[in-house]
Amino acid sequence: MNTWFYLGIAILSEVMATASLKSTEGFTKIGPSLLVLIGYSAAFYFLSLTLEDIPIGVAYAIWSGVGVATITIISVVFMDQKIDLAGVLGIGLIVVGVIVLRLFSGSSVEA
């Protein structure tokens, strides 16, 4: 169970770092820049901890898919990004793919 918790922490760390990227203004602002560096470092650290139990392809697919969907929602809600129907459908397909991978694929946990 810790493995999935670590994957969740990795996703949250990556989303936090990505959401902060614009505010670094090309890494000229120290506070947001440190947040980005710490967030990405934590994301990869916690992602590495998941690899004892989850195959790397599955862990990375879930990490990146949930990260993309989450950062899209954050950018629409907080950063005034516009998204059209094709964008919503695409993100929805990513989420469905992650759900199928996690719930129905025998490859989601190493034997």
Average pLDDT of span 56-83: 92
| 109 — pLDDT class (breaks 50, 70, 90) | low
Predicted local confidence at residue 108, as pLDDT = 60
Distance, in Å, from the CA atom of 106 to the CA atom of 43, rounded to the nearest integer, reads 25
Across the chain, how many H-helices and E-strands are there? 4, 0
> Would the pLDDT of 111 be above 80?
no
Average pLDDT of span 90-101: 89
For all residues of the chain together, what is the average pLDDT? 91
